[in-house]
Amino acid sequence: MMEITKRGLVLGATAAVLSTVAVTNAGIYLSQSQAFFSDSPKELIDEVWQIVDRNYVDGTFNQVDWKAVRQEYLSRNYANKQDAYKAVREMLEKLRDPYTRFMDPEEFKNMQVETSGELTGVGIQLALDEETKKLVVIAPIEGTPAAKAGVLAKDIITKIDGKSTQDMDVNDAVALIRGQAGTEVTLTIKRGAAEKVFKLKRERIEIHPVRFSVKQDIPGQKTGYIRLNQFSANAAAEMRAAIQDLEKQGVTGYVLDLRSNPGGLLYASVDIARMWIKDGGIVSTVDRQGVNSREKANNRQLTDKPLVVLVDGGSASASEILSGALQDNKRAVLVGTKTFGKGLVQSVRGLGDGSGLAVTIAKYFTPSGRDINHAGIAPDVVIELSDAQRQELSKNRDEIGTAKDPQYAKGIEVLQQQIARRNSGGGNSAASR
């Protein structure tokens, strides 16, 4: 269990997670509730209602009469805990906020384990598209069964083991896809007009979120390539080690790859931003009382060398905090396509019976005040990939971060310009782009 401090805020990168916790602000608050669930399931229902009532980001509860909701659900009788869990989920659905969600004890336990960087499943982050109500893959995690099989960001899951996902709750989808390591699940996916079937074996995977190497794609220059797959608990430490190693090897610039990174812990994104930014804002959050909390750089920058950041539609949540901070501070040039667009802050709390609750309590903003929820972050240099190119990279993952990767190749081109400008006395790369 990670440290319980003010870091208990989380940002929802996804409505639900199948094999990783894509929450993105820091740790978990455990409530001190003594709800004796075995005596009265209504205790749990009221506990959830009270937490939402005190903390939900919108004081109108998205135009819902929240007090009437309490009366409605406490007036019912519940035969068992499953009835109460179903009622809690129904109650939260009235908010029309897919990021405020209930987790049964198994789901909550998995969430706590997964934020440590270990995961069980097939490697998919799943969200409910707010407009189409379809189950959409945000991104497969690199090296997992889903990624190896060729599942892509923005794929629509239409069936799970032959069962239609039409009108299926995200939590129900998660329950169907999760299972013991070694067992299989079959996903039917719609990609454009095509339908594809993937038979995936579930695994328990230890995630090392950072991998890095020295590249010589610019004549006469050594550059550092860092791919960050997820903002898990060990991401900041691994990023620090990568930068320090690459600095010792004398690189003259960096490409930081955040593509298909669905997010993770916010404090990891803040810590990593401080490694690149000497001073300036990183992120701010605003709750329903209008209270603004800000995170800033702290003069602990590890390098000031030119930086290019690769982003795409699978870069969500904590990835957007980091890329937004680097862009607003003119510390990096962003290359790729528009990011996912999730800017909601959540608090995750343990409940009296071992279950958990994620509640949207604030919005986050980039240093310049941009609200990227839904809008995403637009890169400075747009490079789209065709479906064929995406599939090629998915099948041949060793080509990611090479000259055969069009977005990386463009990033190197941009980085070369930034290094040349710096060497000619033009100052730091992004500042004068």
305 is a catalytic site residue: no
User: Per the residue annotation, which of 159, 338, 342, 363 is the catalytic one?
Assistant: 342
Annotated catalytic residue 342: yes
Catalytic annotation, pick one of 217, 328, 353, 405: 328
Task: Write phi, then psi, for 10 (nearest 5 degrees).
Answer: -130, 155
Q: Which amino acid is at 65?
A: D
For 266, left (φ over 0), alpha (ψ -120 to 50), or beta?
A: alpha
Q: Which of 120, 129, 217 is nearest to 177 (CA)?
A: 120
- Taking the C-alpha atoms of residue 347 and residue 100, their distance in angstroms, rounded to an integer, is 9
Active-site hit among 19, 260, 315, 317: 317
Query: What is the length of the chain?
Result: 433
What does the block give as tokens for 202? 């579930």
Active-site residue flag, 317: yes
Q: To 10 degrees, the CA torsion angle through 173, 176, 177, 183?
A: 180
Residue with tokens 């990767």: 405
Q: Which amino acid is at 396?
A: N
E-state strands within 184-332: 184-191, 194-201, 203-206, 210-218, 221-228, 253-257, 281-287, 292-296, 307-311
**Positions of E strands within 7-100:** 9-11, 16-17, 29-30
Other residues' Cβ atoms within 10 Å of the Cβ of residue 133: 12
Place of tokens 């319980």: 4
Question: Which residues are part of the catalytic machinery?
Answer: 317, 328, 342
